[in-house]
Chains A and B, each alone.
Chain A
Amino acid sequence: MSEVLVLVDQADGKVKKVTLELLTLAGKIGEPAAVVIGADVDTAPLAEYGAAKIYVAQGDDLTDYVVAPKVDVLAQLVADASPAAVLIASSAEGKEIAGRLALRLESGVITDAVDIAADGTATQSIFGGATIVQSKVSQGTPIITVRPNSSPAEANAAAGEVVAVTAAVSDASKTAKITNRVVEAKGERPELTEAAIVVSGGRGVGGEEGFAVIEALADSLGAAVGASRAATDAGWYPHTHQVGQTGKTVAPQLYIASGISGAIQHRAGMQTSKTIVVVNKDEEAPIFELADFGVVGDLFQVVPALTEAINDRKG
């Protein structure tokens, strides 16, 4: 059975949930093999979720330059292992890696898949979820990026044999040098793209202090906090939490939007959420078009009362 390479996405040495989802998908197509590049990660979850092999490439060269060194490693592995496909998380950087790898390998690339069939056909949800497309790579090794949270991660213990890879990073890949890395405080809440529930606030929240009510609701549900661009631009919440066209795309089980009008750019990042709950004092706000359950009202009344109701129920 052919290998299917899965590029490991991690934060602080912990494998992200999306990687486990990719390993599960990879298992449908062939034998999952995880690829760790330039990071020191706990590999146990990789084996637990189906990785027969875990390729590990280390070295400063791999992380000191933008994207290209990772492409060097993957291209080398594809040449050596002739995998049936390469799966990468659909983050901004993941898509860039996929795009460059496709050119290197003269292979087709599909981005933002929400599912992959055993024959490599990818399902994409485009135009804000209005159209469902089945696509196939018609040349080379299929390179597919998959949206976090779109398919389940299923444990399936495998050997997880660690294979060290000596990576040759070409000079051409060392032109855009990362001179400083700034990590913005992220706290204890779940990661936005991975969370089962996202609670978001917009301009209606009124200021930085207003986000306390959004955070309290999020905490009552064990949710991640999101924000509209109006809120991040105003500096009320870090831009890493922006949901939308130019922020993150989320597709949680439940999305609760308060004080957000529902501009098309915001919708672009959240409209495939399974269930959408809206609180907005303007009954004409376009976000109500997406709502499974909408309340026309003042978020400063409704949201704290909801938090209290949830906390009471939990006892």
Chain B
Amino acid sequence: MKIAVCVKQVPDTWAEKKLSDSDKTLDRASVDGVMNELDEYAVEEALLLTEAHGGEVVAVSMGPDKAEETVRKALQMGADSGVHVLDDSLHGSDAIGTAKTLAAVLADGGYDLIIFGSESTDARMSVVPAMVAEIMGAPQLTFANKVSVDGDTVQIQRITDYGYDEVEASLPAVVSVVEKINEPRYPSFKGIMAAKKKPLDAVGAPDASVGGLPAAWSEVVEFAARPPKAAGVKIEDEGNGAGKIAEYLIEQKFI
């Protein structure tokens, strides 16, 4: 089984994120990048599936120079090879540009499964996996907290607002995973050493007209920092904590 896993580099979880004043895109240069947390679960799931069924895992990321670190991390965890989609024309791509670019890169790979995280912590759109399924005409098996493959069939449990759906499709298919699915491994020392020798190809944008700021189908008109909230009250409970909260709730007209 050949599996592609899409990994995105995002600003460090705790870093203060900003839009850049010049072109109103996320300022990625000023913050440390890490692999999007949810994509670690995607890598883990790809590794578990190939450990069970045989095959190979290719890590794919689109992003600036630094994003190579994130592809490398996937290799350290155990992916066999990496593809870094790197092109200045891709700067400022929106979800549509990202999905079109990834779909074009993935189309020639002969993948049985393409696995995504369910959301990137910076964009928080949760749409790229569904969009890639749309473009590729592949079954959409998103928000999975369980994936199993049997021959040509893949089944997932899809987390829903009300519980979950069991969903079935034929390979090839697009999957996205939620954080309940597994426990991602840390790269071992051996893994880190081995990753240095694994193939990692940089490829250009498949079609310069689909991605990047000029091609974006939506635009930020203006932005502003939210006025800071007034500092709150903090008290020590000395037996009267509940009473104080109740007073506050009355004052605020909640009760």
Contact = CB atoms under 8 A, between A and B. Distances in A.
Interface of A: 11, 66-68, 71, 91-93, 95-96, 98-100, 102-104, 106-112, 121, 125-127, 129-140, 172, 175-184, 186, 197, 221, 229, 233, 239-240, 245-246, 253-254, 264-265, 268, 275-277, 279, 283, 288, 290-298, 301-306, 308-310, 313-314
A149 to B, nearest CB: 14
Contacts of A176: 139-141, 167-169, 173
Contact of A66 (B119, B142, B222): B142
Given A246-B119, A294-B234, A95 B127 contact: yes
With a 10 A CB-CB cut-off, give which of B18, B165, B243 has the most chain A CB atoms.
Answer: B165
B38 A246 contact: yes
B197 interface: no
B226 A129 contact: yes
Interface residues of B, number: 81
Nearest to A122: B218
Interface of B: 13-14, 16-19, 37-38, 94-96, 99, 118-119, 121, 124-128, 130-131, 133-135, 137-143, 155, 158-170, 173, 178-180, 216-226, 229, 232-237, 239, 241-246, 248-250, 252, 254-255
A91 to B, nearest CB: 6
A132 B167 contact: no
B233 A293 contact: yes
Nearest to A220: B255
By secondary structure, the B interface counts as mixed
A247 B13 CA distance: 17
Contacts of B131: 99-100, 102-103
Contacts of B239: 301
Given A111-B127, A294-B234, A302-B237, A136 B246 contact: no
B241 A180 contact: no
Contacts of A246: 38, 118-119, 178-180
B242 A179 contact: no
B220 A175 contact: no
B219 A103 contact: no
Across chains A and B, which 3 residue pairs bring their CB atoms closest together, nearest first?
A: A297-B237, A108-B217, A99-B127
A52 B167 CA distance: 36
B241 to A, nearest CB: 4
B49 to A, nearest CB: 18
Given A279-B241, A301-B241, A308-B242, 18 more contacts: A91-B161, A96-B127, A99-B99, A100-B130, A108-B96, A108-B216, A111-B127, A132-B225, A138-B219, A182-B163, A182-B164, A184-B164, A288-B232, A293-B233, A293-B248, A294-B232, A295-B242, A295-B244
